[in-house]
Amino acid sequence: MADKTIVCRCSDVTIEDIREAINQGYHSFEELKRVLRTGMGPCQGRNCSPIIMRELSMITGIPMEKLEPGRNRPPVKAVSLGAIAEQKEGNCHE
Amino acid sequence: MNKTADIVIIGGGITGCAIAYNLAKKGMKNIVIVEKKFIASGATGACGAGIRQQWGTEMNCRIAKMSCEFFETANEVLEYDGDIEFKQGGYLLLATTEKEKNQFKKNVELQNSVGIPSKVVTFDEAKEIVPILNTEPFVSATFCPKDGHLNPFHATLAFANAAEKLGVEIMKYTEVTDIIVEGNKIKGVATDKGIIETTKVVNAAGGHSQHIAAMAGIEIPVYSERHQILVTEPVDPILNTMVMSFTGNFYCQQVPHGGILMGRGDEGEPRDGNINSGWHFMDEMSKCITNVLPALKNAMVIRQWAGLYNITPDRQPILGPVNEVEGLYLAVGFSGHGFMFGPATGILMAEMIMGEETSIDISPLNLYRFERDEMVFEPSVV
């Protein structure tokens, strides 16, 4: 049985997939995200991001602190369309 | 690190990659794409991923049909080792006014005349196509089963990889700093990695096209406006079709991965290059879509993002040479539909650059139509 370690639990992406994509020349979190969907799922990269950044650093030789992290996008926490639509005027905290 | 090239294409989005691929296929050598970040990192990668053929001008119908037919076989033709995820679940277009209803009728006749299989549908038929649709806000609908969804990253990478296999060089993370013009002729492109000597440049810079044109001393009548999108977490299949309304100001479809993706425009959107997300969009989008597709009220929004529409006065692209600077070509101003037109843009621009007759007459899209008052208005844009 193949030894598969799932790194991105949202989109079932394995460590092998990630290493292969890095070796193909995708050398940033943002590029890997677009190719593999890592960071696009419900966790928005909270689980996979540190592991992917470490792999990027190990394979490319670029120190972690020099790698650009993925861009954080709103909302911070998943929220239903209905909850946003039904909120009353004046309840919004900017 | 200086070098020479037969042509430099500025911009690694679908437009630039498709032009490079087609030029290489026609035998042009020494083609360089210069991309500030990475492939599809700009407007292409931020787009709504919709592919439609339901247009209101004959030229756009032909361009859209050519592109759609290319996408149908793109995995094989481009020998892509991934999947561009072309899903033809159709587009259901919804009219909210009598005027729009009449326009849609005319559009369908036009579309059918060039071989696009669209049709006017009743609300009963619309409900069969999209069972969760609330038809109450609308007056009529049209449907084209061949429209659909396409993954912008993989589609663009498919072109980029195929171009590279044909010898095209792609310089990622390379920023154009100047275009060198001498005696009204292109001499080269200056980048932060050195100068590329060349006599031909294609401006395919999407939301930055006006800044690139300005480097060659050319002012083009475009502005870049932020447009926003949000996506929900993946859910079971519930919406196989893109649901869209121009006057209703929304589009929404479920992508193959399961997320439901939706967007709308807003007159108040910034035009200064800002692509940060705003809360106002999420608020308006949620209100709008839970009215049209009430079943989506429990879908959880996980992400929103934004990109730039590079907009011209008639909301049609500018395709063609710049008379004032020999060797400079524009493939800009796609006004929100550059991704779905990508394959045709690639073919037609390559034909034009090689001095061939273009397979679709795109001469009306020249840069000079605005001052000559020969604009080509398209009634069907968001």
Gap between the terminal Cα atoms of chain B? 44
- Note whether B209 and B161 are same-domain residues: yes
User: Is B381 within a domain?
Assistant: no
* Average pLDDT over all residues of chain B: 97
**Minimum distance, in Å, between the CA of residue A93 and any CA atom of chain B:** 10
User: Is A93 within a domain?
Assistant: no
**ipTM for this prediction:** 0.91
Compare all CA atoms of chain A with the CA of B262 and give the residue at the minimum distance.
A81
Residues with Cβ within 8 Å of residue B102, at least 6 apart in sequence: none
* Average pLDDT over all residues of chain A: 90
Instruction: Tell me the three state secondary structure of residue A19.
Output: helix
B94 forms beta bridges with B141
User: Is A91 within a domain?
Assistant: no
CATH assignment at residue B38: 3.50.50.60
Give the nearest partner residue to A78 out of B45, B279, B300, using CB atoms. Answer: B300
- Note whether B247 and B302 are same-domain residues: yes
Q: Is residue B225 within 8 Å of residue B312, measured between CB atoms?
A: no
The verdict on whether omega for the bond into residue B131 sits within 30 degrees of 0, i.e. cis, is no
SS (H, E, C) chain B: CCEECCEEEECCCHHHHHHHHHHHHCCCCCEEEECCCCCCCCCCCCCCCEECCCCCCHHHHHHHHHHHHHHHHHHHHCCCCCCCCCECCCEEEEECCHHHHHHHHHHHHHHHHCCCCCEEECHHHHHHHCCCCCCCCCCEEEEECCCEECCHHHHHHHHHHHHHHCCCEEECCCCEEEEEEECCEEEEEEECCEEEECCCEEECCHHHHHHHHHHCCCCCCCEEEEEEEEEECCCCCCCCCEEEECCCCEEEEECCCCCEEEEECCCCCCCCCCCCCCHHHHHHHHHHHHHHCHHHHHCEEEEEEEEEEEECCCCCCEEEECCCCECEEEEECCCCCCCCCHHHHHHHHHHHHCCCCCCCCCHHHCHHHCCCCCCCCCCCCC
Say whether residue A14 is in contact with chain B using an 8 A CB cutoff.
Answer: no
- Note whether B267 and B288 are same-domain residues: yes
User: Is A59 within a domain?
Assistant: yes
Pairing, β B31-34 against β B223-232:
unpaired
Mean pLDDT of the region B31-40: 98
| Structural domain for A54, as ranges | 6-86
Half-sphere exposure of B172 (CA within 13 A, CB side): 15
- Note whether B210 and B318 are same-domain residues: yes
Q: Is residue B198 within 8 Å of residue B189, measured between CB atoms?
A: yes
Q: Is residue B243 within 8 Å of residue B130, measured between CB atoms?
A: yes
Query: Which pLDDT belongs to residue B382?
Result: 67
CATH assignment at residue A17: 1.10.10
**Last residue of a domain, which of B306, B331, B352?**
B306
Number of domains observed in the structure of chain B: 2
What is the C-alpha separation between B180 and B193, in angstroms, rounded? Answer: 15
- pLDDT tens readout for residues B259-295: 999 999 998 999 999 999 998 999 999 999 999 999 9
Tell me the chain A residues in contact with residue B259 when contact means C-beta distances shorter than 8 Å: 40
Compare all CA atoms of chain B with the CA of A34 and give the residue at the minimum distance.
B153
Query: Which pLDDT belongs to residue A94?
Result: 42
- Note whether B143 and B115 are same-domain residues: yes
User: Is B98 within a domain?
Assistant: yes
- Identity of residue B357: E
In this predicted structure, which of A3-17, B7-21, B42-56 has the lowest mean pLDDT?
A: A3-17
Query: Which pLDDT belongs to residue A75?
Result: 95
- Note whether B212 and B331 are same-domain residues: yes
Residue A87 has pLDDT above 90, yes or no: no
Q: How confident is the model at residue B348 (pLDDT cuts 50, 70, 90)?
A: very high
Give the nearest partner residue to A81 out of B257, B259, B301, using CB atoms. Answer: B301
Say whether residue B290 is in contact with chain A using an 8 A CB cutoff.
Answer: yes
In this predicted structure, which of B29-33, B211-215, B263-267, B317-321 has the lowest mean pLDDT?
A: B263-267
- Note whether B239 and B301 are same-domain residues: yes
User: Is B53 within a domain?
Assistant: no
User: Is B69 within a domain?
Assistant: no
Give the nearest partner residue to B38 out of A28, A79, A81, using CB atoms. Answer: A28
User: Is B120 within a domain?
Assistant: yes
What is the C-alpha separation between B246 and B226, in angstroms, rounded? Answer: 17
**Last residue of a domain, which of B289, B306, B323?**
B306
Tell me the chain A residues in contact with residue B290 when contact means C-beta distances shorter than 8 Å: 81-82, 85
**Minimum distance, in Å, between the CA of residue A73 and any CA atom of chain B:** 6
Mean pLDDT of the region A26-54: 95
What is the C-alpha separation between B29 and B16, in angstroms, rounded? Answer: 16
Q: Is B87 left (phi over 0), alpha (psi -120 to 50) or beta?
A: beta
Portion of chain B with pLDDT greater than 90, in percent: 97
- Note whether B181 and B289 are same-domain residues: no
| Structural domain for B30, as ranges | 3-46+153-222+314-369
- pLDDT tens readout for residues B212-268: 999 999 999 999 999 999 999 999 999 999 999 999 999 999 999 999 999 999 989
Tell me the chain B residues in contact with residue A47 when contact means C-beta distances shorter than 8 Å: none
**Last residue of a domain, which of B281, B306, B331?**
B306
User: Is A65 within a domain?
Assistant: yes
Residues A11, B302: C-beta atoms closer than 8 Å: no
Number of domains observed in the structure of chain A: 1
CATH assignment at residue B113: 3.30.9.10
User: Is B62 within a domain?
Assistant: no
Q: Which of residues 220-259 of B touch A (CB under 8 A)?
A: 232-234, 257, 259
- pLDDT tens readout for residues B89-141: 999 999 999 999 999 999 999 999 999 999 999 999 999 999 999 999 999 99
- Note whether B174 and B216 are same-domain residues: yes
User: Is B167 within a domain?
Assistant: yes
- Note whether B241 and B135 are same-domain residues: yes
User: Is B268 within a domain?
Assistant: yes
- pLDDT tens readout for residues B141-176: 999 999 999 999 999 999 999 999 999 999 999 999
- Note whether B134 and B173 are same-domain residues: no
